[in-house]
Amino acid sequence: MTQPKVGLITFGDHRAHEWEHVFKKMTEPRHAEAVVFFEGLPIELAADANVARTKEQIDSQVDALKAAGVEVLVAHTPCWTSPNLVVRGIQRLNLPTVLLGNKHPGTHSTVGLLGAGGTLSQIGYPHLRLRQDFDAALAEKVMPFFMATATKSRLQGKMFGLFGGRSLGIDTGTFDPMQWKKLFGVDTEHIDQLEIIRRAELVPEADTEKMMTWLTRSVGKVAYNDDKFTPEKLAFQVRCYLATKEIIGEMGLDFVAIKCMPDLTTHFVPQCISAALLPSPYDANGRRDPIMMACEADGDAALTMEILKEISGGLPVLFMDVSYIDDDRGTFYFPNCGAFCSWYSARSDDPAENMKQIELRPANRPGGGAITYFTTAPGEMTLARLFRVDGRYVMGIIHGETVNISDEERDNFVAARGSHQLPTAFLNLDVDVEKLISNFGSNHVMGVAGDRVEELLHFCALMDIEPQFYN
């Protein structure tokens, strides 16, 4: 799990008499308590041992936090302190800020908290105000904000790799690179997807054999046929995966989207092995950080995946089609055209547990090759999707869970779908279906394990993006 970098400054009264005779004995112990509390959270904490009372002390602590590379500030006002000095430190650091006070009747903390908070509101400075003691409730309130601010910070300077152009006429997969650069700080590299094919031919045989051996031994079943899903076709898909990884490394790409359909699926092979393994935290070479990949050149999907990865501390993310809704049972069927992130087959920290749930089945495309077939394991999930309404970004957010369906439901689904079976997530979502159909801005949706709604709400506020719900 990647941890947010948090800076802490405790502000004290600058008046010598009041400090020595009233506030010192209340402020300094609370500063020490704050350091211990925040060191116990899953964050990287930077904090001075002393309370900052003067302009010089505030500036010095702020400069030290800048040097430490913190991504968010906790401005701690355990007792009364001049609001202008608190705001001085906040503006000098220029990061999203938590203003933290306490509930003790004798500290005058709330007075200082509201004085500084009121100033920040008047100047339009984003901040979160909390009047809370050091307890579990405080951790529940600050961690989503920390994760959101870290996500905003870490998007700056990321490089997106777009292989190919618009796929299958899906307009919602297109995006404006300059809008991304302005709003998110993300740059874009455009790469012809035939570069994957060219580079695949150059992958060393030993590397291909190593990945093939691991893949075919790890999955639950490999359903070769005598037609278009052969060992040679699978080996070429593996070569494409290795070539894509190589391009990502050489070009310094942080996340990617690949057109794939219909060019590669018709004339070469689908990129389903890449779509299954890149967003997963492992392959034949062991554990690694997940690399987000969206299918069908969907740029906003890829960016949403990267946001969900960062906001969850580095978890894998699912890319899905909003495909079918069983209105009678309230079950949502979200497949993909041939691949899911393999981690979601069992949600296990053991790669072997995930991989053995997967079947490699023949792709229903002219080029042949394999799809990665499985049903996602049950568990809590947050769905999200960036899309634009009249040019302005909105984020659709849905909380739910992936579930197992009955044998009867599955048989009915298979009969209705026919031979075109795909990896699928079955979900229970508390949504108004008509509202979802009327307002959701894409045929693709992304999902990450757990409840990340609060984190996404903070992120949207920080980015001035409207969150959209469908309850």
Asked if residue 455 and residue 402 are part of one domain, the reply reads yes
Asked if residue 344 and residue 216 are part of one domain, the reply reads yes
Does 7 have pLDDT greater than 90? yes
Which of 155, 176, 195 terminates a domain? The answer is 155
Asked if residue 105 and residue 193 are part of one domain, the reply reads no
Does 409 have pLDDT greater than 90? no
Asked if residue 163 and residue 143 are part of one domain, the reply reads no
pLDDT of residue 419: 64
Q: What is the dihedral of CA 257, 263, 266, 268, to 10 degrees?
A: -80
- Number of domains present in the structure of the chain: 2
More confident residue, 324 or 160: 160
pLDDT of residue 226: 79
Asked if residue 148 and residue 165 are part of one domain, the reply reads no
pLDDT of residue 411: 83
Which of 155, 183, 215 terminates a domain? The answer is 155
Q: What are phi and psi of 305, to 5 degrees?
A: -60, -45
Between the alpha carbon of residue 143 and those of residues 3, 340, 465, the distances in Å are 10, 29, 20
Asked if residue 139 and residue 34 are part of one domain, the reply reads yes
Question: Between β-strands 159-163 and 187-191, what pairing exists: parallel, antiparallel or unpaired?
Answer: parallel
pLDDT of residue 341: 97
pLDDT of residue 328: 83
Residue 456 parent element (H or E): helix 453-463
Averaged over 351-364, what is the pLDDT? 96
Averaged over 428-437, what is the pLDDT? 94
pLDDT of residue 329: 84
Asked if residue 194 and residue 90 are part of one domain, the reply reads no
Give the residue numbers spanning the domain of 131. Answer: 5-155
More confident residue, 326 or 142: 142
Does 200 have pLDDT greater than 80? yes
pLDDT tens-digit map of 112-140: 999 999 999 999 998 999 999 999 999 99
Does 146 have pLDDT greater than 90? yes
Kindly report the average pLDDT of the chain as a whole number.
95
Averaged over 269-290, what is the pLDDT? 97
Does 406 have pLDDT greater than 80? yes
Enter the pTM of the model. 0.95
Which of 100, 122, 155 terminates a domain? The answer is 155
Averaged over 430-446, what is the pLDDT? 95
Contact predicate 379/449, CB 8 Å: yes
Asked if residue 187 and residue 48 are part of one domain, the reply reads no
Does 238 have pLDDT greater than 90? yes
Residue 413 is part of a domain; what is its CATH number? Answer: 3.20.14.10
pLDDT of residue 410: 82
Does 34 have pLDDT greater than 70? yes
pLDDT of residue 420: 65
Q: Cα-atom radius of gyration of the chain, to the nearest Å?
A: 25
Does 357 have pLDDT greater than 90? yes
Asked if residue 370 and residue 273 are part of one domain, the reply reads yes
Asked if residue 456 and residue 401 are part of one domain, the reply reads yes
Q: Of the given ranges (95-99, 277-281, 335-339, 450-454), which has the lowest mean pLDDT?
A: 335-339
Contact predicate 343/305, CB 8 Å: no
Does 379 have pLDDT greater than 90? yes
What residues contact 354, with CB distance under 8 A and at least 6 apart? Answer: 280, 342, 343, 344, 345, 346, 347, 348
pLDDT confidence tier of residue 327, bands split at 50, 70 and 90? confident
Question: Between β-strands 444-449 and 379-389, what pairing exists: parallel, antiparallel or unpaired?
Answer: antiparallel
Structure tokens at 121: 């509101």
Structure tokens at 347: 């949600």
Does 418 have pLDDT greater than 80? no
Asked if residue 211 and residue 134 are part of one domain, the reply reads no
Is the four-CA dihedral 176, 185, 289, 398 of positive or negative sign? negative
pLDDT of residue 330: 84
How many whole angstroms separate alpha carbon 40 and alpha carbon 42? 7
Does 176 have pLDDT greater than 80? yes
pLDDT tens-digit map of 55-66: 999 999 999 999
pLDDT of residue 119: 96
Asked if residue 212 and residue 76 are part of one domain, the reply reads no
Residue 113 is part of a domain; what is its CATH number? Answer: 3.40.50.10940
DSSP string, 118-135: HHHHHTT--EEEEE--SS
Residue 411 parent element (H or E): helix 407-417
Contact predicate 442/371, CB 8 Å: no
